[in-house]
Amino acid sequence: MSQHDAVEVITAKRDGGTLSDSQIDWVVDAYTRGDVADEQMSALAMAILLNGMEREEISRWTAAMIASGERMDFSALSRPTADKHSTGGVGDKITLPLAPLVAACGVAVPQLSGRGLGHTGGTLDKLESIPGWRAALSNDEMMRQLEEVGAVICAAGTGLAPADKKLYALRDVTGTVEAIPLIASSIMSKKIAEGTGSLVLDVKVGTGAFMKDLDRARELAETMVALGKDAGVRTTALLTDMSTPLGFTAGNAIEVAESVEVLAGGGPADVVELTVALAREMLAGAGVDDVDPADKLADGSAMDVWKKMIRAQDGDPDAALPTARESHVVTAPATGVLTRLDALAVGMAAWRLGAGRAKLGDAVQDGAGVVWHARPGDEVTEGQPLMTLLTDEPERFDRALASLEGGYDVEPAGSAYEPSPLVIDRVS
């Protein structure tokens, strides 16, 4: 590998230049090995945030991140593979019903998921509320489960894109999280290294999402779709609304219960709509066009795969889920129409009740969270339960209630309410 030095790479990007392939390969490798210091990489990350990157640069940067670790290979499986990544939201339990649903349609789903941080929930935290279920699988266990069950949701091994883990932690403490080239390469390096044949991205936009602004969300989606294409992975993205939380629950065990309702053929309309929309995208990406996922929810086959998937990871799908020891009911302040329920306010309340963590490594409560009893557009009566807050520690209620202040509106009966579409756009 040709020799460069960190200052040369930093100043090239600081002055608005385009980094060469060899500069990118060198700096990512040297940083992963510890030969480029954190303060040097943070200066480069800030220069990237301020000056951006060309498509070729981002593509090469992503390839260098992938090259820092192992790549998985699912070509030996008897069926095609498809995966989904969500940029995170409130009440976003979609992965739970989606993975078994797509598997029931004949496509294997290797879903490497993460834990929650701040107001956005983590898929692994939700599943760990199921008694016995374990997130850590070896590559051999993962391959066997994909062949036998068709779906696996587990923690990513440390071998995938180790450069990303190191850079992600640095971005977090240097004000460079928002750099779209770095967000896109972080997500896509892990997903491409994971070896899936096709990928669907659920890019959330709205108050409860990482991207609050539609134009920036679209830029992120287009950047990630291009990265997938450059790496030979069929990639599409849906831009979806995260101004209102999904379903009726935000927490861990309560979101599992809601997901099981969807798998049983019921559940909230918005969760079903988004699950089926993403399933159709995943099936199309995998070249399967002769089956409608809605049928597999209706006939119980997705539920069968769910139970097999949970049992394969030592969980008991029939066990009672944990419940919180304490609850507090928030009542409607007036009679009328609920016109707004802010996703960020609900997410912050669930986090403060114990459903989420402030920093990696913090414990979460399985039973904590928020259940809302009405969605925007519903009529409510003064004094009726609007939300129920759940926690094991009643001293958490005050801060959760403070999060919800100004987080919902009840307008007089007959007020016009115009629902925003759940799926805003598709990027391919």
What is the DSSP code string of 371-392? EES--TT-EE-TTSEEEEEEES
CB 204 within 8 A of CB 217: yes
CA angle 383, 89, 43 (to 5 degrees): 135
Query: Mind listing the domains of the chain with CATH numbers?
Result: 6-52 (1.20.970.10), 82-312 (3.40.1030.10), 326-411 (3.90.1170.30)
Q: Pick the catalytic residue: 92, 164, 270, 342? A: 164
CB 414 within 8 A of CB 371: no
Q: Pick the catalytic residue: 85, 115, 119, 218? A: 85
Q: Is 104 exposed, middle or buried (0-12, 13-18, 19+ CB in 10 A)?
A: buried
Q: Pick the catalytic residue: 86, 113, 186, 403? A: 186
186 classed as catalytic: yes
Residue 245: what residue type?
P
Sign of CA dihedral 428, 207, 357, 311: negative
Please tell me the predicted confidence (pLDDT) of residue 157.
Answer: 78
Q: Pick the catalytic residue: 93, 171, 191, 234? A: 171
Q: Pick the catalytic residue: 79, 190, 204, 234? A: 190
Please tell me the predicted confidence (pLDDT) of residue 362.
Answer: 82
- Element containing residue 175 per DSSP (H, E): none
Helical pair 253-263 and 301-312, crossing angle rounded to 10 deg: 140
Q: What is the DSSP letter of 298?
A: H
Bridge partners of 33, per DSSP, are: none
Phi then psi for residue 93, to 5 deg, are: -100, 20
215 classed as catalytic: no
Q: Which residues contact 105 (CB under 8 A, 6 or more apart)?
A: 279, 283, 288, 291, 293, 296
38 classed as catalytic: no
CA angle 78, 82, 84 (to 5 degrees): 155
212 classed as catalytic: no
4 classed as catalytic: no
- CA dist., res. 284 & res. 385, Å (int): 42
CB 330 within 8 A of CB 401: yes
Q: What is the pLDDT along the chain (428 residues), one digit of tens a residue?
A: 568 999 999 999 999 999 999 999 999 999 999 999 999 999 999 999 999 999 999 999 999 999 999 999 999 999 999 999 999 999 999 999 999 999 999 999 999 988 877 777 789 999 999 999 999 999 999 999 999 999 999 998 778 889 998 998 888 889 898 899 999 999 999 999 999 999 999 999 999 999 999 999 999 999 999 999 999 999 999 999 999 999 999 999 999 999 999 999 999 999 999 999 999 999 999 999 999 999 999 999 999 999 999 999 999 999 999 999 999 999 999 999 999 999 999 999 999 999 988 777 788 999 999 999 999 999 999 999 999 999 999 999 999 999 999 999 999 998 888 999 999 999 99
- CA dist., res. 424 & res. 83, Å (int): 21
